[in-house]
Amino acid sequence: MKSSNTVWHHATVTRARREELNLHKGAIIWFTGLSGSGKSTLAHAVEERLHQATCRTFVLDGDNVRHGLCADLGFSDEARTENIRRVGEAAKLFVEAGIVVLTAFISPFEGDRERVRKLAGADDFIEIYCRCPLEVCEQRDVKGLYKRARAGEISHFTGISSPYEPPYAPDLTVETSLLSLDESVGAVLALLAQRKVINLMEAVT
């Protein structure tokens, strides 16, 4: 609920001026997919390449955010929706700062992702679907979560006891079980250049 006693303050340092200083645009790069699909790995690898190209970046990672901003939330459908709402609001602030913010969240519900898209604006929201078969994600299971979920030790686990709604029209689908990490990074960078967020030549050198 918005307070009726607050008034938006318009700063003299605008987003356009920040982007001019940064020499690139701000944007939300939203990685979605099952646990173990490679979202965080890809997000951080893309960030590394962008950082080397002197882009201003930040990764909002699902696990890390739940240690602070969303530490009070569980994993019910309602809590997941609130988790994504908060992340969307935080990501929008980064965009206003002219920063490329990369988010790695399962974000299982299409409606939640669409709300962030509307919040940010379609031009600033780039949805990347890290598509990976459930069986491959389970084989990876680097955190041992699938094994615990199968044993009934974790409830509301996406892909096992809670649904995942794949994006119906993502800006990019990355087949993380088939492509190498370098190939996946290249596909993301090419899209960012196509969307004029970055200069591709600077990001690949």
Burial class (CB in 10 A: 0-12, 13-18, 19+), 60: buried
CA 192 vs. chain centroid, Å, equals: 14
Answer whether 43's CB lies under 8 Å from 37's CB: no
The answer to whether residue 107 is catalytic is yes
Residue 84 vs residues 106, 115, 157: alpha-carbon distances, Å: 10, 9, 16
Select from 104, 84, 120 the least CA-distant residue to 32.
104
Considering only the C-alpha atoms of the chain, give the largest distance between any 2 of them, rounded to a whole number of Å: 56
Q: Which residues contact 106 (CB under 8 A, 6 or more apart)?
A: 32, 33, 34, 35, 39, 62, 158, 164
- For the chain, how big is the Rg over CA atoms in Å? 17
Catalytic residue (one of 37, 40, 107, 162): 107
Catalytic residues: 107
